[in-house]
Structure 1
Amino acid sequence: MSVRDRNRERVRQEIGVAARRLFARQGYGATTIEEVADEAGVSVRTVFRHFPRKEDLPFHRHASIRRRFAELLDADDGARPSLDVLADALWRAIDVDGSEEDGGVTFLGMLEREPELRRHEQALFGEHHDVVAGFLRGRLAGGPEGHAHAELLAGAFMGTVTASRGLVLLFPGEPPRAQLERAVDLLRPLPWP
């Protein structure tokens, strides 16, 4: 990345972190873009340049998580079972900068309370599904059967990841990674390549 790109990414992250802080403190619906700009020390115009819609703000890490997830999967040498590679890569990508002090519990709670954000998250999850399906296609035989197998397994994996979010909220005393592992273990009987 160039210096300009790194600076742009830094400003984007600072805006996203400021927004998340405000959303946690006063709620998503009660927070204005003007307050986010003020909290981040930037103009409203700068906020909109980085985040065209308010619902993009809570997902400020989405692009970096997706990129890191894809990089980790691309770097896989094929020695471990694909399900283990997927779960490990996703966890490492989510924790890309260690910024979730509470393991993301506050963010997950906000998603549960805000249907608009859950819908937006589902659209973004489609991008992760594509990354998972591409990884699995690389491990399976080509042709329509291999493609269908990859799509179904990718859907099962991403659906399980979504469901594990609920486990994090149901068992707040347990580490979030334990909930992901618990959910992923249910997928083990499926025919993973």
Structure 2
Amino acid sequence: MALGRPEATSHADIEQAAFRIFAQRGFEATTLDAIAESVGVGRRTLFRYYPSKNDIPWGQFDSTLEHFRETLDSMPPEIPLHQAVHRGILAFNSFPEDAQPPHLERMRLILQTPALKAHSAIRFTQWRQVIADFVASRTATAPHNALPQVVGHVSLALALTAYEQWLMRPDDSLHHLIDESMDLLTDYLHQ
């Protein structure tokens, strides 16, 4: 029997309510009080789930990053480094079709809301670091060395390009667009 305070809500309930209100009022005009009221909890309860309104669109990003790290670390060593990173990015970007809020809606908010840009830079740095740590481990170098950092930055650029294309072409597959971004880079490097 678990002791302690019973769970008042869930991450999913908060995210769904927040995205509903974001769609109605816009991100900037949505208050934490409005989200809390919609979920039926107090503002302080929200802070047990998310440290700020800016964190809500990112969902449970810390656990997602941990899963990303585990996915990369589980890649067999015989898979070439660039393929292992690419496969890891594809796995990271696999979401259920019925996810609520839909991943496309989540990324539209993150990428197109000026108030989220600074916060996004922090999250993108954390994401790149997972790749840099993996590359460093595979190449027996330090994560701050040039190769791990370059791979992290390039991988983020490829992923963001795919996301931007996805926002313009929502009927296309995100995985296809990530592959397309990688193919474009590969073609460019071989010109």
Q: TM-score, normalised by structure 1?
A: 0.80
Name the counterpart of 1:36.
35
The two structures, once aligned, show a CA RMSD in angstroms of 3.1
Name the counterpart of 2:160.
162
User: Contact 2:18–2:56 at 8 Å: present in 1 too?
Assistant: yes
The number of residue pairs the alignment matches comes to 187
- With CA pairs under 8 Å and 6+ residues apart, which has the higher RCO, 1 or 2? 1
Tell whether 2:117 aligns with 1:118. Answer: yes
Match of 1:153 among 142, 151, 160: 151
- Tell me the CA shift for residue 103 of structure 1: 5.3
- Tell me the CA shift for residue 101 of structure 1: 5.8
- Tell me the CA shift for residue 141 of structure 1: 4.3
Measure the CA separation in 2 of the matches of 1:142 and 1:189: 28
Q: Which aligned pairs between 1:22-61 and structure 2 lie closer than 5 A?
A: 22-61=21-60
- Tell me the CA shift for residue 180 of structure 1: 1.4
Structure 1, unpaired ranges of 5+? none
Q: Percent identity?
A: 23
- Tell me the CA shift for residue 91 of structure 1: 3.0
Q: Which aligned pairs between 1:9-88 and structure 2 lie closer than 5 A?
A: 11-88=10-87
- Tell me the CA shift for residue 124 of structure 1: 0.7
Question: Greater shift after overlay, 72-81 or 129-138?
Answer: 72-81
Letter of the 1:68 counterpart: H
Structure 2, unpaired ranges of 5+? none
User: Contact 2:58–2:106 at 8 Å: present in 1 too?
Assistant: no
Question: Greater shift after overlay, 67-76 or 32-41?
Answer: 32-41
User: Residues 99 and 30 of structure 1: is their aligned pair in 2 closer, same or farther, counting only changes over 3 Å?
Assistant: farther
Question: Greater shift after overlay, 35-44 or 63-72?
Answer: 35-44
Measure the CA separation in 2 of the matches of 1:141 and 1:169: 37
Letter of the 1:14 counterpart: D
- Tell me the CA shift for residue 59 of structure 1: 1.1
**Post-superposition CA distance 1:142-193 (Å, at most 9, x none):** 379x9311211211111221222111112222122211111122344799xx
Q: TM-score, normalised by structure 2?
A: 0.81
**Post-superposition CA distance 1:92-133 (Å, at most 9, x none):** 234356553685222232234311212211111111111101
- Tell me the CA shift for residue 36 of structure 1: 1.0
Match of 1:178 among 173, 176, 179: 176
User: Residues 115 and 52 of structure 1: is their aligned pair in 2 closer, same or farther, counting only changes over 3 Å?
Assistant: same
User: Residues 15 and 132 of structure 1: is their aligned pair in 2 closer, same or farther, counting only changes over 3 Å?
Assistant: same
User: Contact 1:136–1:150 at 8 Å: present in 2 too?
Assistant: yes
Measure the CA separation in 2 of the matches of 1:48 and 1:102: 20
User: Contact 2:72–2:134 at 8 Å: present in 1 too?
Assistant: yes
Question: Greater shift after overlay, 54-63 or 107-116?
Answer: 107-116
Letter of the 1:22 counterpart: I
Measure the CA separation in 1 of the matches of 2:110 and 2:141: 38
Name the counterpart of 1:133.
132
User: Residues 172 and 143 of structure 1: is their aligned pair in 2 closer, same or farther, counting only changes over 3 Å?
Assistant: closer
